[in-house]
Every structure is written in structure tokens, then in C-alpha cells.
Amino acid sequence: MRIELENAGFVYQQGTAFEVPAVNGVSLVVGPGERVGIAGPVGSGKSSLLALMSGIVPPDSGRLLVDGRPVAGGTRIERGSIGIAFQSPENSLFEKTVYDDVAFAPRNLGVGRDEERRRVMAALAAVGLDRDQFGPRNPFSLSSGEQRRVALAGVLALEPRLLLLDEPTAFLDPATRADIIGRLVELNRAHGMAMVIVGHDMDELAVFAERLVIMDSGRVVADSPARKLLTDVTLLERHGLEPPGTVQLSRMITQKTGQHVEPALTEAEALMQLKKLREQGGSR
Ligand SMILES: Nc1ncnc2c1ncn2[C@@H]1O[C@H](COP(=O)(O)OP(=O)(O)O)[C@@H](O)[C@H]1O
Ligand SMILES: [Mg+2]
């Protein structure tokens, strides 16, 4: 599946004195199997953009195309093909058991009992919840991290071809955040499900994203391979984003030693560089 926003715009409270242009002339394509990160300051239009991409909210200007066909022109997006989790999706858990909550979407799609069960089990496993332990539990008796996992499982159970997640790790502890991001990457690799994640943590996006889109004031100001943008400290800081820790470390080493060090994007890369520097230091 390929979705495309073409010069799309969205304005809150249009026609009133309180108009807020949230998305402004955005053109963006997400192709099959891509892992895209969206970053930008608070209020830059990330959540609104995600809603436009999902097809839930029609753009006020421009259009959304799915596989080349404009959605507004009567073409409907195939049910279940796009899954979206808004910020803090655990706030909309409501069933009496975790099983039923995760089963909600596939049940609505009308899949049979066996298929429903298969999907719920796969989704729970994908988010790292033991099905026997958690399936029968009341969602409201879980920790916030577990609730977040259940909510994400609920979207995964749709088995969408495109998954849109708005800050899926916000307010969680660092270990849970890293675990969830790692699992999403694994899912993408295993099933080729395209994923778009809105995030504010560049370390996390460095792990997740192959491609990064930076929003500012409702516009896309950069759309490139993630490595290129995440190592561009000037660009990130211009848009109020903190570069990944490893990139900051590389820059500090360059500044302190006078030796140019390529910006590292992962811990493994940073360690390699430190090792190389030590070897060079030892040979002098
Ligand atoms: N329901 C709403 N009513 C009016 N303005 C809104 C609403 N939701 C968001 N906005 C405004 O739209 C702009 C973009 O918001 P949003 O898409 O939530 O940005 P982000 O997710 O990047 O923080 C902001 O100026 C925000 O204040
Ligand atoms: Mg937002």
C-alpha cells in the first residue's frame, strides 16, 4: 500500500476568528514496508498530519491518495488496512478483559472466531504480553506500561498494512520504551508492515526510523534518510530538536580533541569510534 498526501492542508475552526492552520501544504508519500519517523516541536502539526494520513480526517485542501486513487473521489480506504493509535491510546481501553479489548477491532472486521483468536494471540505476543497471564485480566488492573502494550496490541490485531502511531512510548519508563520500539522494528522486518511514528525523542527515532520527516509550523521542513537528518545538529536545533545522545557525544569529542569524528547514530557506532580514538591515542 502506498499513501500520498498531495499539497494537503488542515485548519481547525475554519471560518472563525480562532482559525488555526495546523497542516499547511504538505506533500508526503509513504510506501510499502517503510519505517518513517515524524519529529518537530510541540504544535508543529504532527498529530494533525497523522490524522490526515489515516483518512479519518479529510484535508481542507489538497488530497489523500491510496495506491494512486484519491480517497475523496468515492474510493474508500479498505477497512482495516490502516491502523492508528492516537496519543495515550490506553485511555480508550474499555472491555472487561485484555482479550476482548484486543479482539475488538478484528471482531468488528467480522473475521471468524478462529481468526480472531489467532490475531489476538499474535498481537499480544508482538507487544510482549503473555497471553495466558494477561488475556483474562481486567485492563484497568494493569500498570500504565502494560495498558499501553494492550492498546498497541489492539491496533496490531487489525493486521494493517500501514500502522500510524502518535508518540507510542510517551510517559513510559526508559526500559519499556526501548522494548516497545525494538518490537515495532522487529514487526516491520518480519511482516513488512509500513509504520509511521510521531516521536519527540531523537535517540528513539535513531533506532526506529529509516526515514525522517521534520515538521515545523504545519510544514514539512525536511524529509530524508534518518541518518542524514539525525546527524545534522544545526538543522535539528533550528527546529527545537535535541540531537541523539551519540551524535552529541561525537560532536563533543571533535570539539575537545580537535580530531574530526563522524557523528555516530547508534551506541555500537559510538563505541567503535571511542575504540579507534584510543588506539590512535596509544600509537602516538
Ligand atoms: N482540537 C483543536 N482545536 C484547535 N486547535 C488545535 C486542535 N488540536 C490542535 N490544534 C492546534 O493545531 C496546531 C497543530 O497541533 P498538533 O497537530 O496537535 O501538533 P503536534 O502534534 O505537533 O503537537 C497547534 O497550533 C495546535 O494548537
Ligand atoms: Mg501531537
Q: Rounded CA gap, 195 and 35, in Å?
A: 5
Range of the domain at 258: 244-284
Ion ligand 2 nearby residues (CB, 5 A): 46-47
Closest atom of ligand 1 to 41 CA is: 22
Q: How far is CA 86 from CA 169, 191, 240, in A?
A: 11, 22, 23
The verdict on residue 263 lying in a domain is yes
The answer to the question of residue 99 being in a domain is no
Number of structural domains (the chain) is 1
In single-letter form, the type of residue at position 36 comes to: V
Q: Pocket residues for ligand 1 (CB within 6 Å)?
A: 12-13, 20, 22, 40, 42-48
Q: Is residue 238 part of a domain?
A: no
Identify whether 139 is part of a domain: no
Cell numbers of 120, please? 489476538
The answer to whether residue 191 is domain-embedded is no
Query: Hey, which of 26, 42, 48 would you mutate to test ligand 1's pocket, going by the most ligand atoms within 8 Å of its Cβ?
Result: 48
pLDDT in tens, 75-94: 678 888 999 999 999 999 99
In the chain, which residue ranges form alpha helices assigned H by DSSP? 46-54, 98-109, 113-126, 131-134, 144-156, 174-191, 202-208, 226-230, 233-238, 245-257, 267-283
6 inside domain: no
> Distances in Å between the alpha carbon of 62 and those of 52, 119, 145, 272?
11, 36, 38, 47
Question: Does the residue 249 lie in any domain?
Answer: yes
Q: In what order do the strands lie in the sheet with 20-30?
A: 20-30, 3-12, 61-66, 69-70
User: CB–CB of 36/213 below 8 Å?
Assistant: yes
Statement: the pTM of the whole predicted model exceeds 0.75: yes
For residue range 217-267, list pLDDT tens digits in order. 999 999 999 999 999 999 999 999 999 999 999 999 889 888 888 899 988
Contact 119/101 with Cβ under 8 angstroms?
A: no
- At 152-198, the pLDDT tens digits run 999 999 999 999 999 999 999 999 999 999 999 999 999 999 999 99
CA-closest candidate to residue 37, choices 246, 199, 183, 243: 199
